[in-house]
């Protein structure tokens, strides 16, 4: 890899993540977010400052790799994850209006907006420079919004905005592992100097073995950086984004593939990426088989040589959530 | 009670709460916070804008009723709780210096600074107008400070600043019930119109029956408002503060009396005060008999006609904490 030059450009790998569940108050079964035309998505993403790079689909989901992270569209669920200095929340109002006009869903059933604290909030657009500002904007749109901070406000933390009134009734779970202070050696494979393309990086890194049998769309950026979406029938996905530069290294792993226990998955992901620090969130509603895993995670205060610094468990109206932060002990 | 007049003066009942545990690096057994002279405490409280109204003591603790809430001093533990527009955090540096100079403790073993969100933060001194500002000030003094927000940042929440490095090794627990939107009828007893003095209000309200046998120092303010300290041998206390005015009604109950289960205590306190909403925090370290009660509280999502809106559980380095917020369902 290129040596670190003085004052290199800082790239904020930390993503903003939006998940919106839609419903139709008239129970119109024909509503489907996937009926929205490509140019409409392109226009929406312009507000966010991101572009579609690639797309794959199966019978349950359309999955997009973006210039800044990913987008997943199923019948009634929209997921948008964007990094860098993107302006994700500028798209929320437009999204809701477009969805109503284009495919008939007239109600937001639940919303999850979340992110880790930024390393350089001052480089973000005004709107995203603090969670307070983000909450103000969301509160203007939603009557029953609830804003939380998990972890340490003055160190590493994770922000969440969600709704308190209705909620998703099908089994649902989301697992995220956000990693930083990455081992430089493990990051080399995500550069053009080492790998030829996305497929090559997926194979060399070991990402291909994390969830075998998954359908993959991967992309290696020039000169470095990596994104992948993986999908499984049923609307299940994994998505990985890598910022390999040593001065701002960051990797995110996210999946809604149901797991009765997350330990095996965590071990696989840590082995591939070898972070210095990471935080982990697990969401599950009571219909999910992952529900029991949250209690299991509470007991793990040491993991693969990492030490737990924080652990929190929350009961929301429809979901349970755990937040855990680990780091390698300083020797 | 007097009818509510237009634009009445808003009194912020919500307290700032500081608990500091001291130790001596030379294991000097003679160090004792109670050896600090009264005029030193008076000078410290001047910084905070509070005065001592009354004092009682037993062999383990000195307990002070203040013009704004309470102060408790044991051999190695200092607790200061102040409401209104007091400037509690201005006293922290001075406290540590004074304790070192006057009684020899040269190290802070642990610190807990906490409060509910203010109803009117703009009426507070600059320093206390936001938790961010409070954290900045504490971070200047402590290297291993960790700042948390429990509950909803955009509704009701509770802030905590504590240390992550050392910690208290004796069994310890703290229970707080912070109540607001009080039943006006239940508040009448805390006015001079109904009660003659503190003792009368303690009896009429039923406070005297919450923990029988406790030694009580109570005070009824003119024309209304109430404070009480109760102490038990072993350094155990309860403290109650009542702001009865209908437009800003607020009551706090706090105790470190160990309980294997808090349900009975909660029921007694709710019966006396009858709040519209309340939040509850329970701290316990692993040596405490209250440790098991935290798991018990997780299961209670409905209590005496109140509905749970939020529940969170945190594992800190030395303590476990639960935060729960309840309200009467709106009919």
Write out chain A's pLDDT in tens, 331 residues: 344 445 678 999 999 999 999 999 999 999 999 999 999 999 999 999 999 999 999 999 999 999 999 999 999 999 999 999 999 999 999 999 999 999 999 999 999 999 999 999 999 999 999 999 999 999 999 999 999 999 999 999 999 999 987 777 899 999 999 999 999 999 999 999 999 999 999 999 999 999 999 999 999 999 999 999 999 999 999 999 999 999 999 999 999 999 999 999 999 999 999 999 999 999 999 899 998 888 888 888 888 899 999 999 999 988 999 999 999 987 6
> CA of B21, closest CA in chain A: separation in Å?
22
Among candidate residues B31, B70, B83, B224, the one labeled active-site is: B83
B315 touches A at CB < 8 Å: yes
Per-residue pLDDT, averaged over B50-77, amounts to 98
Interatomic CA distance for residues B222 and A140, integer angstroms: 43
- Contact with chain A for residue B126, Cβ under 8 A: no
Q: For B158-181, give the DSSP string.
A: EEEEEESSS---S--EEEEEEEEE
Choose, out of B144, B312, B330, the residue to mutate when testing the contact with A (most A CBs < 10 Å). Answer: B312
Q: Enumerate the residues of chain A whose CB falls inside 8 A of the CB of residue B152.
A: 146-148
Nearest residue in chain B measured CA to CA from A307:
B317
**Do the beta carbons of residue A69 and residue A82 sit within 8 Å?**
yes
Please judge whether B132 and A145 are an interchain contact, meaning their C-beta atoms are less than 8 angstroms apart: no
Min Cα separation A309/chain B (Å): 7
Closest residue in A to B148 (Cα–Cα)? A152
pLDDT at A6: 54
Question: Is pLDDT at B4 greater than 70 in this prediction?
Answer: no
Q: Which residues pair with A232 in a beta bridge?
A: A236
Q: Tell me, what's the pLDDT at A5?
A: 46
What's the token pair of residue A91?
Answer: 């798209």
Asked if B301 is an interface residue toward chain A (Cβ–Cβ < 8 A), one would say yes
Helix (H) or strand (E) holding B215: strand B215-220
pLDDT computed for residue B331 by the predictor: 66
Mean pLDDT of B14-40: 96
Q: Does B260 touch chain A (CB under 8 A)?
A: no
Phi, psi of A214 (to 5 degrees): -80, 145
Contact (CB, 8 A) for B31 and B104: yes
pTM > 0.80: yes or no: yes
A126 touching B (Cβ < 8 Å): no
Task: Tell me how far apart the 2 most distant CA atoms of chain B are, in Å.
Answer: 61
Which residue in B has a C-alpha nearest to residue A131's C-alpha?
A: B153
Distances (CA, A) of B99 to A307, B10, B163: 34, 35, 19
CB-based contact, B314 to chain A, within 8 Å: yes
Q: Do A135 and B149 touch (CB under 8 A)?
A: no
DSSP B117-130: PPS-GGGS-GGGS-
Contacts of B261-265 with CB under 8 Å at 24 or more apart are B261/B293, B261/B296, B262/B175, B262/B290, B262/B293, B262/B296, B262/B297, B263/B296, B263/B300, B265/B175, B265/B210, B265/B211
Minimal CA separation from A236 to chain B, in Å? 28
- Assembly ipTM: 0.94
A153–B148 CB contact, under 8 Å:
yes
What is the C-alpha R_g of chain A? Answer: 19
Summarize pLDDT for A125-157 with one digit per residue, the tens.
Answer: 999 999 999 999 999 999 999 999 999 999 999
Interface test with B, best of A132, A133, A148, A281 (most B CBs within 10 A): A148
Per-residue pLDDT of A289-322, as tens digits, reads 998 888 888 888 888 899 999 999 999 988 999 9
Task: With cut-offs at 50, 70 and 90, classify the pLDDT of residue B329.
Answer: confident
Rg (CA), chain B: 19
Contacts of A149 in chain B (CB under 8 A): 148-149, 153
- Can you give the pLDDT at residue B233? 96
Among candidates A260, A245, A258, which has minimal Cα distance to A296?
Answer: A260
Question: Is B313 in CB contact (< 8 Å) with chain A?
Answer: yes
Reply yes or no on whether the pLDDT at B1 is more than 50: no
Q: Which residues does chain A have within 8 Å of residue B149's beta carbon, measured at their own beta carbons?
A: 148-149, 153
In chain B, what are the domain boundaries?
16-327
Residue B299's pLDDT band (boundaries 50, 70, 90)?
confident
Q: Please count the other Cβ atoms lying within 10 Å of the Cβ belonging to residue A42.
A: 12
Residue A237's contacts (CB-CB under 8 Å, 6 or more residues apart) are: A61, A63, A72, A79, A229, A230, A231, A254, A255, A256, A257
Smallest Cα distance from A210 to chain B, Å: 30
Minimum mean pLDDT range among A310-319, B93-102, B125-134: A310-319
Task: Give the model's pLDDT for residue B6.
Answer: 54
Sign of torsion over alpha carbons B183, B184, B186, B190: positive
Testing the interface with A: which of B135, B136, B153, B327 to mutate, by most A Cβ within 10 A? B153
- Picking from A121, A146, A153, A294 by the largest number of B CB atoms within 10 A of its own CB, the best residue to mutate is A153
Q: What is the pLDDT of residues A101-112, one digit of tens each?
A: 999 999 999 999
Candidates B139, B154, B311; nearest CB to A154: B139
Pick the CATH number of B16-327 from 1.10.3720.10, 3.60.90.10, 3.10.20.600, 4.10.780.10: 3.60.90.10
pLDDT at B2: 43
What is the crossing angle of helices B92-103 and B131-141, to 10°?
30
pLDDT digit string, tens, across residues B241-258: 999 999 999 999 999 999
With beta carbons less than 8 A apart as the criterion, state whether A7 and A96 touch: no
pLDDT at A7: 62
Catalytic, B241? Answer yes
- What pLDDT does residue B3 have? 45
Mean pLDDT of B151-179: 93
Q: What is the pLDDT of residue A94?
A: 98
pLDDT greater than 70 at residue B93: yes
The whole-number pLDDT of residue A331 equals: 66
Are B149 and A146 in contact (CB < 8 Å)? no
Please give the span between the terminal C-alpha atoms of chain B, in angstroms, as a whole number: 26
């Amino acid at each position: 890899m290129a040596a670190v030059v003085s004052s290199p450009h800082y790239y904020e790998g930390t993503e903003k993540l939006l998940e919106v569940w839609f419903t139709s108050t008239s129970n119109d079964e024909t509503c489907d977010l996937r009926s929205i035309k490509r140019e409409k998505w392109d226009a929406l993403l312009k507000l966010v400052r991101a572009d579609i790079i690639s797309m794959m689909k199966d019978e349950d989901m359309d999955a997009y790799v973006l210039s800044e992270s990913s987008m997943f569209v199923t019948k009634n669920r929209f997921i948008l994850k964007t990094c860098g200095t993107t302006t994700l929340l500028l798209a929320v109002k437009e999204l809701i209006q477009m969805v109503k006009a284009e495919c008939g869903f007239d109600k937001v059933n639940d919303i999850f907006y979340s992110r880790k604290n930024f390393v350089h909030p001052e480089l973000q657009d005004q709107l995203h420079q603090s969670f307070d500002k983000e909450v103000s904007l969301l509160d203007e749109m939603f009557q029953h919004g609830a804003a939380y901070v998990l972890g340490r406000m003055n160190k590493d933390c994770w922000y969440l905005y969600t709704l308190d009134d209705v909620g998703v009734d099908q089994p649902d779970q989301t697992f995220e592992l956000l990693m930083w202070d990455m081992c430089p050696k493990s990051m080399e494979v995500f550069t053009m100097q080492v790998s030829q393309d996305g497929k090559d990086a997926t194979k060399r890194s070991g990402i291909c073995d994390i969830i075998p049998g998954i359908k993959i769309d991967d992309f290696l950026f020039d000169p470095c950086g990596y994104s992948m979406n993986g999908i499984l029938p049923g609307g299940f996905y994994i998505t990985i984004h890598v910022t390999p530069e040593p001065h701002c290294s960051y990797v995110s792993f996210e999946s809604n593939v149901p797991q009765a226990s997350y330990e095996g998955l965590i071990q696989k992901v840590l082995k591939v990426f070898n972070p210095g620090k990471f935080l982990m969130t697990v969401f599950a509603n009571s219909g999910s088989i992952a529900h029991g895993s949250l209690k299991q995670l509470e007991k793990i205060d040491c993991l693969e040589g990492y030490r737990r610094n924080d652990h929190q468990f929350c009961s929301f109206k429809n979901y349970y959530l755990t937040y855990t932060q680990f780091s390698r002990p300083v020797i």
